[in-house]
Amino acid sequence: MGIEILGLPMMYYIAMVAKVLVAFLFVLLTVAYATYAERKIIGHMQVRLGPMRTGWHGLLQPIADGLKLFFKEEIIPSQASTFAFLIAPVIALVPAFMTFAVIPFGGVIEVAGYKIPLQVASYIDVASGKVYDVNVGVLYILAMSSLGVYGIVLAGWASNSKYSLMGGLRASAQLISYELSAGLAIVSVFMLSQTLSLNEIVNQQSSFNGLGWYIFKQPLAAFLFFICSIAEINRTPFDLPEAETELVSGFCTEYSSMKYAMFFMAEYANMITVCALTTTLFLGGWNGPFATVFPLLGLVYFVAKVYFLIFFCMWIRATLPRYRYDQLMHLGWKVLLPISLVNIVVTGIIGYFIK
């Protein structure tokens, strides 16, 4: 018998802290080296080499960039609203990390005789062995992702700059336009799974030796959700809130030092979360051949799927030019939104007759 706290063995509390640290370090390291990977991938796609001078093939470039930003002079505009200006990067960054708490990145592993579910916000009933997680995990992620835009809008307003304000306004309009389509796109997943629990959604895709993914049943919904999510996080070709050719650097024009880096980190952390959520909803999460037999293999599957989608995001950036603002709004309201609604209706009709 080990030490127990509130009726649970100490091992479960140690595992909880370990899962938080692993998830945080995974996102943090992926954010750091996603910047390096993007520069290298786009460089090779454009017949360039990308970073080469700092370390072997530029591997130390993210560390050098981080140190540079950390020691760089911090400038606050004299006419800015100081408190709002300082708090805005925090509001943008914190939700980007918090969203990863409900995403299951593996099955159940056994450590020292105790079963541990590989999901931060989850626990396992010792008696029954059943895993419990946040039963509205998808709604939690949608809520957290919506909070991030407040930081961007606040940054645009507090900077007291026309360029920054325009970027903030664009970000808010873009979020409203595309979050609606993204939310409707995943309604079809709820109709198939009959749950909002991400862990249960993953478990329902474990048929056919871990290949019963919802992307095969809902390819249109997967495409709509991924495209709308890219627009929500302001990635190219939907990076209108920054739009260097028009707005200097958009909402973060007046930012420098680590505050600028925090906006940068928030963008990449959101990209990782979007890819992880797409993997969970449509690509079976950690499911794959023999993942139930070898639980750590599921973790490998999950990371591989997420990294593939991150690569796809970078590929899109290297390929497509930025939309005009009127094209962005037209695509969101007149193309993606009607298609999302039609997909829900068709899914309901097919589900009714098959049932």
| Residue 227 amino acid letter | I
Task: For residues 344 and 237, give the distance between their C-alpha atoms in angstroms, rounded to a whole number.
Answer: 26
Place of tokens 């409900």: 102
Is the pTM of the predicted complex or chain greater than 0.85? yes
Question: Can you read off the two tokens belonging to residue 173?
Answer: 């309009």
Q: How many CB atoms lie within 10 A of CB 115?
A: 18
Residue 54 DSSP class: S
**Cα end-to-end span (Å), the chain:** 49
Q: DSSP string covering 68-87, please?
A: HHHHSPP---TTS-HHHHHH
Work out the angle between the directed axes of helices 61-71 and 257-282 (0-180°, nearest 10). Answer: 140
Is residue 97 a contact partner of residue 151, using CB atoms and an 8 Å limit? no
Work out the angle between the directed axes of helices 137-158 and 257-282 (0-180°, nearest 10). Answer: 160
Is residue 337 a contact partner of residue 181, using CB atoms and an 8 Å limit? yes
What pLDDT, on the 0 to 100 scale, is given for residue 9?
66
Cis peptide before 237 (omega within 30 of 0): yes
What pLDDT, on the 0 to 100 scale, is given for residue 355?
64
What pLDDT, on the 0 to 100 scale, is given for residue 322?
85
What pLDDT, on the 0 to 100 scale, is given for residue 337?
92
Average pLDDT by consecutive 10-residue portion of the chain (355 residues)?
56 80 86 88 88 86 85 80 86 86 83 79 73 82 83 84 84 86 90 88 86 90 92 84 75 83 86 92 89 84 93 90 86 91 91 78
Task: For residues 92 and 97, give the distance between their C-alpha atoms in angstroms, rounded to a whole number.
Answer: 10
Residue 323 DSSP class: P
Task: For residues 149 and 168, give the distance between their C-alpha atoms in angstroms, rounded to a whole number.
Answer: 8
Task: For residues 37 and 310, give the distance between their C-alpha atoms in angstroms, rounded to a whole number.
Answer: 10
Across the chain, which distance is largest between two alpha carbons, in Å? 65
Is residue 123 a contact partner of residue 88, using CB atoms and an 8 Å limit? no
Query: Domain coordinates of the chain in residue numbers?
Result: 81-106+134-354
What pLDDT, on the 0 to 100 scale, is given for residue 3?
57
| Residue 58 amino acid letter | G
Task: For residues 117 and 93, give the distance between their C-alpha atoms in angstroms, rounded to a whole number.
Answer: 26
What pLDDT, on the 0 to 100 scale, is given for residue 1?
44
What pLDDT, on the 0 to 100 scale, is given for residue 2?
53
Closest CA to 253 of 128, 132, 85, 139: 85
What pLDDT, on the 0 to 100 scale, is given for residue 4?
54
